[in-house]
Amino acid sequence: MAARTARPGLYISVDIEADGPIPGPYSMISFGAAVAGRQDGASYTAADPEQLTFYRELRPISEEFVPEALAVSGLDRDRLLREGADPAVAMAEFRAWVREVSAGAQPVMCGYPASFDWTFLYWYLIRFGADSPFGHSGCLDMKTLYATKARVPLRAAVKGRMPRALLSRRPHTHHALDDAIEQAELMSNLMLWTPPAPEPVPAGEHSTC
């Protein structure tokens, strides 16, 4: 029986801004997404991350917030309470957008780091609509991708230690769409990067453990 061919993957960089550390007690107040590129087998094609994007500012879902977390985004909570998108509407629009841009491919959310952004994004997708276009595990962490390729511990996978050629020249503004676009460029650079081969260990210095 022939092996089933995997669908191409469409990588979507997502960045979220929140007013606290976890979803539910606290709110996702904005999120942005940008198509980073497409992988078909071993081939990866980078996209222009400004071409296919999505952005929404959301109405908070609770009265709780951490002032320091809210301040990072620079968004006005009172304005969001009046003008922010209804989360159910925004997530329905986002699902439709993901399915449109990923037609014929498997959408994969990617983030830097993915753990925080995926936690909020997946919780909102399920809480407000009970459906995720990424499934329950369709996320990729750029820090892990770099650590694996560079053969460094995860804690060393920080932008300040990465080769400059991997980094986007765009500023990190804490505006969710700006940062999603910036990190889409990092994602493509990582996918296309071939790190230098490790130096060989001299004879006689191999560990016997």
Helices (H) and strands (E) in the chain, counts: 6, 6
pLDDT one-digit tens code per residue, 99-133: 999 999 999 999 999 999 999 999 999 999 999 99
Q: What is the predicted pLDDT for the residue at 180?
A: 98
Residue 1 has pLDDT above 60, yes or no: no
Cα torsion angle, 144, 150, 154, 155, sign: negative
Selection from 65, 68, 4, 5 nearest residue 29 by Cα: 65
Span 168-188, mean pLDDT?
A: 96
Residue 204 has pLDDT above 90, yes or no: no
Looking at the annotation, which residues are catalytic? 174
Q: What is the predicted pLDDT for the residue at 197?
A: 75
Residue 181 has pLDDT above 60, yes or no: yes
Residue 3 has pLDDT above 60, yes or no: no
Q: Residue 183, class by beta-carbon neighbours within 10 Å (0-12 exposed, 13-18 middle, 19+ buried)? A: buried
Span 15-44, mean pLDDT?
A: 97
How much is the pTM? 0.91
pLDDT-based confidence at 203, cuts 50/70/90?
low
Q: Give residue 169's identity as a one-letter amino acid code.
A: R
pLDDT one-digit tens code per residue, 50-95: 999 999 999 999 999 999 999 999 999 999 999 999 999 999 999 9
